[in-house]
Structure 1
Amino acid sequence: MYSNSKYSVAILGAGAWGMALANLADANGHEVRLWSRHGSQTLETVLKDVQIVLSAISMTGVRDVAFQVNSFSLSPETIFITATKGLDPQTTCTPSQIWQTIFPNHAVVVLSGPNLSQEIQMQLPAATVVASNISTAAEVVQLVFSSHRFRVYTNPDPLGVELGGTLKNVIAIAAGVCDGLQLGTNAKAALVTRGLTEIIRVGNDWGAKTETFYGLSGLGDLLATCNSPLSRNYQVGYQLAGGKTLREILTNLQGTAEGVNTCQVLIQRAKQQNIAVPITEQVYHLLQGEITPRQALDELMLRDIKPEYNY
């Protein structure tokens, strides 16, 4: 199967991200089938004889949809791609871990990077990373989505690629607060840099490689999400700083700000593993309505002084 030049690709999730990826595969001449819970096509029809299944659904639906997919017969060579950025509240698992548990004998590929879907839909240039334990599967996915406007790199560390894209959403909320309070460029640079340190600390504990977080799915995605009003997570922070309530913001937000759920799950895991996550902690208290944006900042600035790195 891996020698084919054209593939049948089922995209699960017809939100902005799913549509952007569908358009990229379609532009490369692949047969693209789109499934949405609110669409007319059944999951069974979309999955029939499909070679690649890409999940771009929000975190809350991943486990349920994966079990539904498992009720249909698929070729053992079917490749799964996960493009969801989040953590499962029940288990703290990443999306790829959920797909791999349900489909232990299939190749699972993580797709993540600095990919604001609106910019990709506008055909602006972008790059992303596809990562898998099975290099041939990552290379197939690379071919399916690569174009002159969308550069795709492969990586052998799927967990690191996935965590980079997931954990940065929490830091993006903090970055939105920083801009909303008009704290300046120095403060924002410090926040994003220390945020990356926090992401690496969590990722290393999880078993991911440090160098992955300096790549597109870590630092790259962090820079894009922390600096763009197009980012839903950034918008949550920015609007909280402007005095809106979380409920108000989420009601009017188009799409899902995965960082809100990720923050809660990350706090849970950090406590279990005894990992220091000072920025995440303040974002958590802010989202819970326990402190104001200004108090969150003060807490971070008044922490005990320490070396930048622990050698």
Structure 2
Amino acid sequence: MVTVFGSCNMDLVAYVATPPRRGETVHGRAFSTVPGGKGANQAIAAARAEVGTRFLGAVGDDEFGGRIRATLAEAGVETTGLRTVEGHSGTAHIVVDDDGGNSIIVVGGANDVMDRLHPGDAEAIAASDCLLLQLETPLRGASAAAEVAAAHGVRVVLTPAPAEPVPESLLSNVDLLVPNEHEAAVLTGESDPERALPALLDSVPEVAVTMGGEGVLYGNRSGERVRMPAFPVRAVDTTAAGDTFVGVLAAELARGTDTTEALRHGSGAAALSIQRKGASGSMPSREDIREFLEDSGS
């Protein structure tokens, strides 16, 4: 069982040829509203990888909240731990350019109530194989969730995004840290992932740095190093590629898959997702991933 303690948002996505600079107005060619948020995205990715998945989070009592809840449930995510609170749901304002790149502004909304554990959260976490965390909810809540997981031998996987310094009180309970290159640089001051990796391993037992088109760099305190190249595909929209990778990686680890194979499945899932538009709607099924890996000869 994978439990996700984290954020859920409505993604408001504008597609443009080139993103606007400060003070500039540009024409967009399309717009969509898609349920997302790093926590919800990771939960959907894990559920589509056919591992039992539950989500602990909050939505507002607005139209967006109802859509987010329905999307999670339709993906097979258990939502009994998803609270509805007064006010607006979280939103992410996303600009996607013709190269598939994106920039994102997140407005927390209902996610801000996840600054603590709510009734039933600790029991749900303790009964899990893996706990997924991100930083779109308050650090205090993520730290409390990680502490419960560590006390019950539950593997804790943290995506340190949005990028910001992470307190030792949280890192001390993290088993696997999954930053991208930018986040790794923020945490260590090292722009080169090869140099950032050993610095990160001073704080956590395992690290997987995602590097976009350059693949994934994994290492642990036992000295194991794995550099997994990215699959050569054309990116249409990279939104939630990292969340897809982490969700599928956690699903495979919860299933008992060895780390290298779990990394391969996560990489394959991310490669599939960037060939499709949107966040949650772009995430592949376990069968999609299996077929892609077979066709890729890996």
Scaled by the length of structure 1, the TM-score of the pair is 0.30
Which structure's relative contact order is higher, taking Cα pairs within 8 Å and 6+ residues apart? 2
Relative to its length, the structure with more helix (as a share) is: 1
Relative to its length, the structure with more strand (as a share) is: 2
Q: Determine which structure has more spread, i.e. the larger CA radius of gyration.
A: 1
